[in-house]
Structure 1
């Protein structure tokens, strides 16, 4: 056997799914049931381990897809903000001059910041 089973401080146990305690239980069941049940105990443990790995891989894939889509939405909002900022600047600057420009761009910045914070909170 490897040293990983004998030294508890080497690596933290995985979260959810097959844990170190489950492995100990499987080894205990193997000892209690005898060698004729070894394959069944091992198959059961390996099946739980595979399910745990598959679940984590699925979660990681969903997180990566959500991050990618969130980045695309933020980029599109930035482009739309710049595109609408030009006519808004012309109108605000023509009617209220510098204070109008300031208020208009603070509104545009506020929308982008609010969107970025809400996207971060969803993660």
Structure 2
């Protein structure tokens, strides 16, 4: 039993004690007062859960913003493309020197494959496990 439950239990005990002292004439007012306190507690719990849910959504959006904005991740893609082209020059030279045209073709197929994997990595569900949401009732 947590503190809020003990506070609510104290409120219920006080309401029942007041009912026994005041009699049945004040029963409706006492019950209404107690139910109002329960409703306030439920509202506070619901507000806390909604705020937590919204905060989790904002974090998810902030972490996954790369898929929502058309230019998000542009620097990473641009940089990777530039680096792969810069490295393509010596790789092409090494491949052409070692195996001629076949070496040149193989080195460029490797460069294209690396860039294709890098691009596909940004697709939803590519080599990622989906996380299951936890139960909604825990705080």
TM-score, with structure 1 as normaliser: 0.54
Q: Which runs of 4+ in 1 moved over 4 A?
A: 65-69
Aligned mates of 2:113, 2:101 — CA distance in 1: 18
Aligned mates of 1:114, 1:61 — CA distance in 2: 24
Alignment of 1:1-123 (within 5 A): 34-64=35-65, 68=72, 71-94=74-97, 96-120=99-123, 121=126
Q: CA deviation at 1:44?
A: 1.8
- Relative CO higher for 1 or 2, CA cutoff 8 Å, sep ≥ 6? 1
Q: Which runs of 5+ in 1 are unaligned?
A: 1-30
TM-score, with structure 2 as normaliser: 0.49
Q: CA deviation at 1:108?
A: 0.9
Q: CA deviation at 1:66?
A: 9.0
Q: CA deviation at 1:35?
A: 3.0
Provide closer, same or farther for how the CA distance between residues 64 and 122 of structure 1 changes in structure 2, counting only shifts above 3 A. farther
Provide closer, same or farther for how the CA distance between residues 44 and 54 of structure 1 changes in structure 2, counting only shifts above 3 A. same
Provide closer, same or farther for how the CA distance between residues 122 and 59 of structure 1 changes in structure 2, counting only shifts above 3 A. farther
Provide closer, same or farther for how the CA distance between residues 45 and 89 of structure 1 changes in structure 2, counting only shifts above 3 A. same
Q: CA deviation at 1:119?
A: 4.7
Q: Deviations over 1:90-120 (max 9, x none)?
A: 3433554433321110011112223333454
**Root-mean-square deviation over aligned CA pairs:** 3.1
Q: CA deviation at 1:57?
A: 0.9
| Number of aligned positions between the proteins | 91
